[in-house]
Amino acid sequence: MSNIFVISDTHFNHANILEFKDYLNKPCREFDSVEQMNECMMDNWVSVVGPNDTVIHCGDVLFGHNKVEWMEANFAKLPGKKRLAIGNHDNVKHLAPFFKDMQLWIDMEGFIFTHTPLHGSTLAEKHRFKEPKINVHGHIHTNPSPEGPYFCACVEQINFTPLNIELIKGN
């Protein structure tokens, strides 16, 4: 049996993200190094995702130099069929070989997966002829989602681990 997982804003190799603070001036990511952060997220991924599972990444995959080399040596080895809702920091040229597909949004299974939360009027338009959808998004890191049918899949809010969408349906 295969599962569908979601994750966003991994920012692999982004050393400066370790300096980011939330609105309470608390570090958003409490790791000693970017290598420790990368290893944690990759270990967590491997602990829940199987080879036949699908992982929808809601954007902002990685930063830094040697992107293709790092993706080949690390990301490509992570299990699952990977799909990307393109984020504002994603270079599709570098990422294309590592994803089954890349789109601005992915509409499936009662969800719309995007990088940034959709504006309420856009989400309402998507509902007009179909069942209501939950907008699973990233981009906002530790900030709360807008009110309504939204769910933030930023790693800071899902314990740096891909989350099974069945758990979102229950929210």
Q: Quick one: pLDDT at residue 20?
A: 94
**Per-residue pLDDT tens for 134-160?**
999 999 999 999 998 999 999 999 999
Q: Quick one: pLDDT at residue 129?
A: 53
Q: Quick one: pLDDT at residue 24?
A: 87
Global pTM? 0.93
Q: Quick one: pLDDT at residue 17?
A: 95
Indicate if the pLDDT at residue 124 is higher than 80.
Answer: no
Q: Quick one: pLDDT at residue 171?
A: 62
Distance CA 96, CA 72 (A): 12
**Per-residue pLDDT tens for 85-119?**
999 999 999 999 999 999 999 998 789 999 999 98
**Domains detected in the chain:** 4-169 (3.60.21.10)
Q: Considering the chain, what percentage of its residues have pLDDT values greater than 90? A: 80
Q: Of 41 and 108, which is predicted with more confidence?
A: 41
**Per-residue pLDDT tens for 44-62?**
999 999 999 999 999 999 9
